[in-house]
């Protein structure tokens, strides 16, 4: 992973901050402020260095106030229906009230989960090595 060396530290830092936020919440579920501070730093680092974060990470952070969204602790999760058929998962941040609406569809897949994306990622290091 020679080509990744520079960003590796940054990714480790992002990972640490994300874990730290979880750790703080696990110790004391009411201490939202500190967890939010760590997530905010994580977000700003990613913005400064133009790093992409996985959707699974982004979906657990509030877009508005940057707090961790843990169902039942800092967020409510509900199933909603729209136009009779399509179902959504609605995640609502308890501290600021911002909602996230995610589609429930067993056939729908994110780009990063698809096999094509995996292929592309494998290709790139090979090209750079040449």
Partner 1 sequence: MEEAHVCTTIPQDLVRRLGAEAHSSSKATKFTEAYLKNCIQQPTRLDVKNIVTHKAVILGYSRPKKDKTKRNSKKAKGLSARQKRTMKVFRIKPEHQRYELFLPLHKLWGQYIIDLCGGLKPTSNPQFVQQKLLKADFHGAIITVVRSKCPSYVGTTGILIQEFKHVFKIITKEDKVKVIPKKNSVFSVEIEGFVSHIYGNKFELRSSERSAKKFKVKGTIDL
Residues in contact with partner 1 by CB under 8 A are 9-10, 12-13, 16-17, 19-20, 23-24, 26-28, 30-31, 33-34, 36-38, 40-41, 44-45, 48-49, 63-65, 95-96, 98
Q: Which is nearer to partner 1, 9 or 116 (CB)?
A: 9
Q: Which is nearer to partner 1, 5 or 129 (CB)?
A: 5
CA proximity to 46, closest of 58, 34, 56, 35: 58
CA proximity to 30, closest of 93, 77, 73: 73
Distance of CA 34 to the CA centre of its chain: 18
Output the smallest distance, CB 120 to partner 1, in A. 27
Output the smallest distance, CB 116 to partner 1, in A. 29
Output the smallest distance, CB 91 to partner 1, in A. 12
Output the smallest distance, CB 49 to partner 1, in A. 6
Q: Which is nearer to partner 1, 41 or 76 (CB)?
A: 41
Residue 62 phi, psi dihedral angles, 5° rounding: -75, 135
Continuous segment of H or E residues that includes residue 43 = helix 32-49
Question: At CA 69, angle to CA 68 and CA 75, rounded to 5?
Answer: 135
């Amino acid at each position: 992973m020679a080509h990744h060396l520079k960003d590796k530290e940054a990714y480790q830092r992002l990972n640490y901050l994300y874990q730290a936020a979880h750790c703080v919440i696990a110790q004391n579920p009411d201490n939202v402020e500190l967890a939010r501070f760590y997530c905010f730093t994580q977000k700003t680092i990613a913005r400064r260095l133009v790093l992409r974060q996985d959707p699974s990470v982004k979906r657990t952070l509030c877009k508005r106030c940057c707090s961790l969204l843990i169902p039942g602790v800092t967020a409510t999760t509900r199933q909603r229906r729209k136009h009779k058929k399509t179902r959504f998962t609605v995640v609502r941040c308890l501290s600021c009230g911002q909602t996230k609406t995610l589609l429930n569809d067993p056939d729908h897949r994110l780009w990063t989960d698809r096999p094509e994306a995996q292929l592309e990622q494998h290709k790139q290091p090979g090209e750079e090595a040449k």
